[in-house]
Amino acid sequence: MRRAIFLLFSTRARRSAALILLILSHSVVTPVMAEALPAPQGPVLLKITGNLSLPNVGDAVHLDKEMLEAFPVETFTTHTPWAEGPQTFTGVRLSDLFDAIGAEPESFVAVGLDDYKFTVTDVDTDKYPVIVAYKHNGDYMSVRRLGPLRILFPFDDYPELLTHKNESSSVWQLLEMELR
């Protein structure tokens, strides 16, 4: 008797699953299209150009402080090669930023205020919470404190990220990113 009930249940479950798959395979799924971010109201801190599908100013994305702070906040504490002791950084994850502007870059060139340029490659921004930081130890970063924006890696949480290449990718006084 138990075996018969199990077989009956099993057959019904299989039929239900088959029916659900049939319905889903014939359904028209309409993707939700993201909208471009609004134009910035304040001074532009970061300009992003290149391979993106949701520009907000011409063919680029311009972001001000309020726009950056509107993204989900990522904070981590880590040691860096440039300071003694653990440092806490707050900002927006690159993966969240890329999603919002319709970008899936294979690489990008980060440009700092002093015209320092570095091509960032081979960083899994979905796996690792690499951020564009706007706060250091709870305070907004001034140009004097290597801000107002910096690319930061959570080196303590992911020791495999502590490489010379990623140290060089940690561009401070970040002004622009060209996505490729």
Per-domain boundaries in the chain: 1-30, 44-179
Which of 108, 110, 96 lies closest to 46, judged by CA?
Answer: 110
DSSP 38: P
pLDDT digits (tens, 9 = 90+) for 72-89: 999 999 999 999 999 999
Question: For residue 164, what is the enclosing H or E element?
Answer: helix 164-169
Which pTM value belongs to this model? Answer: 0.80
Mean pLDDT of the chain: 86
Q: pLDDT band for 116, please (50, 70, 90 cuts).
A: very high
Quick one: what percent of the chain has pLDDT higher than 90?
A: 81
Question: For residue 73, what is the enclosing H or E element?
Answer: none
> Quick one: fold of 44-179?
Sulfite Oxidase; Chain A, domain 2 (3.90.420)
